[in-house]
Chains A and B, each alone.
Chain A
Amino acid sequence: MLPLSLLKTAQGHPMLVELKNGETYNGHLVNCDTWMNIHLREVICTSKDGDRFWRMPECYIRGNTIKYLRVPDEVIDKVQEEKTRTDRKPPGVGRGRGRGMDDGGARGRGRGASMAKMSGNRGAGRGRG
């Protein structure tokens, strides 16, 4: 089973996303793509140390900033594997620079800075716990 098939199946389900910078995002998955970019709705963002919270109606997270995703257990039973896997590779992997001397990942720059952005300010609040 491909990780991205599982992610696609998780559409509409709640999930937790931790970014490389330690921030976590809790929300419902609206959509995702083959780069693991994801679109969440009804989001609560928690700072690295877990002491600050932000609510936002939706956010968009760039795939390469993600460390891991936690999805509800039942989602794995709902995955239907596509029979037509013409291309198992996520785009951008195994191509580019040199001839396969690529370092096998760690592409993209930045330190996992969150690409999440407030969309409007509706419902965006600041909290403390």
Chain B
Amino acid sequence: MAATTGLESFVDQIISVITNDGRNIVGLLKGFDQATNIILDESHERVFSTKEGVQQLVLGLYIIRGDNIGVIGELDEELDASLDFSKLRAHPLKPVMH
């Protein structure tokens, strides 16, 4: 069990990161360390709003500090492709309050 506890299984996969300031960043996980710092390649931000569909902003190569990470989800690409983001409306996520 311990072998899969970390993020090994997500490496070279497309992941969706929810950050503590409420952003949703999608990209290719290239690496991580014990502090959950991560390298995200070809990343983009998905901006949710109630006024319009989801906007995508290209970000590029990012190092995100573990302190600022809430959730790392493995993106099911098939499922993701089936979503119509132009129709999705939602409030942006709240920031994490400790």
A3→B37 contact, CB < 8 A: yes
List 15 additional A-B contacts (Cβ < 8 Å) besides A6-B39, A67-B19.
A1-B39, A2-B33, A3-B38, A3-B63, A6-B30, A63-B65, A67-B21, A67-B64, A67-B68, A71-B61, A73-B41, A76-B39, A88-B34, A90-B34, A106-B98
> Is the C-beta of A52 less than 8 angstroms from some C-beta in chain B?
no
Complex-state Cα separation, A30 to B54, whole angstroms: 37
Which chain B residues have a beta carbon within 8 Å of chain A's beta carbons?
A: 19, 21, 30-39, 41, 59-68, 98
Residues in chain A within 8 A of chain B (CB atoms): 1-7, 20, 36, 63-64, 66-73, 75-76, 88-90, 93-94, 104-106
Name the A residues within 8 Å of B34 (CB-CB): 88-90, 93-94
Q: Are the CB atoms of A70 and B59 closer together than 8 Å?
A: yes
CB distance from B1 to the nearest CB of A (A): 16
User: Can you identify 9 A-B contacts, CB atoms within 8 angstroms?
Assistant: A3-B31, A3-B32, A3-B63, A7-B63, A68-B19, A70-B61, A88-B34, A90-B33, A105-B35
How far, in angstroms, from A104 to B35 measured CA to CA in the complex?
7
Q: CA A4 – CA B65 in complex, angstroms? A: 10
CB proximity of B16 to chain A, nearest CB, Å: 15
B66 touches A73 (CB 8 A): no
